[in-house]
């Protein structure tokens, strides 16, 4: 299968995917695509509309009729839902706890994956991060990474991150959320979170963002060099 110009980064909550993916994309001049933000935006829309989260058909219909855009703005990524900036709102705890209800629906995922593939193919190089990038969205990605870290480290990172964003959530709530999401993301029937066979695992527990990004870039460059050496 022909390789695409995609770097796939998967892993559980708090493994450092977003920050690292953003940094790697920035250093390579690639497009950065946060696929979790798309599932979050859709979930926010369902909440705003007061939808019944057990009505799968209505949720699938919603995913067909929703406009989600990602735009890089300086150091941050802006998320637009039907043309409105929802970058902050999609990080709320309500969205975080409900997102799994949408993310476990096969037809919702199909619509999201279509959009992700379109975005990832538009640019000559893209870094996509999520749960199923290396396994489902871009199985032919040029490079695949699976980031992980100890449970405690991941909880601490989420806590710091949400505090910095101005959300007041207790460490206990974060711990429960990370535990529940790990469980539902890893055990759902459709596109569960798992390491792609050919992904390189990086344990980020004792690493800084710069170290992880540096390691990824080193591998990407090494593979590039050996690939070019064939000619």
The 180-209 contact track toward ligand CDP, x by CB under 6 A, reads: -x---x------------------------
Considering only the stretches 1-9, 36-44, 77-85, 202-210, report the one whose residues sit in contact with ligand CDP under the rule CB under 6 A: 36-44
In angstroms, the CA 177 to CA 195 distance is 21
**Closest distance between ligand CDP and the C-beta of residue 208, in Å?**
18
- Residue 162 touching ligand CDP (CB under 6 A): no
Is residue 40 a contact point for ligand CDP (CB under 6 A)? yes
Nearer to ligand CDP, 21 or 28 (CB): 21
Question: How buried is 11 (Cβ within 10 angstroms: 0-12 exposed, 13-18 middle, 19+ buried)?
Answer: buried
DSSP class of 90 = G
Q: Which residue, 43, 33, 203, 62, is CA-closest to 133?
A: 33
User: Which segment (19-27, 49-57, 63-71, 128-136) binds ligand CDP by CB under 6 A?
Assistant: 128-136
**Two structure tokens written together for 174:** 């974060």
Instruction: Tell me if 91 sits within 8 A of 162, measured CB to CB.
Output: yes
**Among 6, 8, 9, 13, which residue interacts with ligand CDP (rule: CB under 6 A)?**
13
Among 6, 33, 132, 138, binds ligand CDP (CB under 6 A): 132
Among 131, 144, 212, 220, binds ligand CDP (CB under 6 A): 131
> 70, 105, 79, 83: which is closest to 189 by C-alpha?
105
Give the single-character DSSP code of 148.
E
Q: Which CB atom, from 28 or from 113, has the smaller least distance to ligand CDP? A: 113
Name which of 103 and 127 has its Cβ closer to ligand CDP.
103
Q: Torsion angle of alpha carbons 173, 34, 43, 46, nearest 10°?
A: 150
Of 40 and 144, the one with the shorter C-beta distance to ligand CDP is 40
| Token reading at 135 | 């396994």
Phi-psi region of 20 (alpha: psi -120 to 50; beta: other; left: phi over 0): alpha
157 is an interface residue for ligand CDP by CB under 6 A:
no
Count of Cβ atoms closer than 10 Å to residue 191 Cβ: 21
Q: Which stretch binds ligand CDP (CB under 6 A): 97-105, 119-127, 195-203, 220-228?
A: 97-105
Binding interface with ligand CDP (CB under 6 A): 13, 17, 35-37, 39-40, 99-100, 103, 130-132, 181, 185
């Amino acid at each position: 299968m022909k390789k695409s110009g995609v770097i796939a980064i998967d892993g559980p909550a708090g493994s450092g995917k977003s920050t690292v993916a953003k940094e790697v994309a920035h250093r390579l001049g690639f497009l950065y695509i946060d696929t979790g933000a798309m599932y979050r935006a859709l979930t926010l829309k369902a909440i705003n509309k007061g939808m019944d989260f057990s009505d799968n058909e209505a949720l699938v219909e919603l995913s067909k009729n929703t406009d989600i855009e990602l735009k890089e703005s300086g150091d941050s990524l802006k998320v637009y839902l039907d043309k409105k900036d929802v970058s902050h709102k999609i990080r709320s705890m309500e969205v975080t706890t409900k997102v799994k209800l949408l993310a476990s629906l096969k037809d919702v995922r199909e619509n999201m994956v279509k959009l992700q593939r379109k975005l990832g193919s538009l640019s000559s190089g893209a870094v996509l991060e999520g749960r199923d990038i290396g396994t489902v969205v871009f199985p032919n990605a040029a490079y695949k990474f699976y980031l992980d870290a100890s449970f405690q480290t991941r909880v601490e990172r989420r806590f710091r991150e949400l505090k910095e964003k101005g959300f007041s959530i207790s460490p206990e709530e974060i711990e429960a959320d990370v535990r529940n999401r790990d469980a539902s993301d890893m055990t759902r029937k459709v596109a569960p979170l798992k390491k792609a066979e050919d992904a390189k695992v990086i344990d980020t527990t004792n690493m800084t963002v710069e170290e992880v990004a540096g390691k990824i870039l080193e591998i990407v460059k090494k593979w590039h060099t050996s690939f070019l050496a064939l000619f």
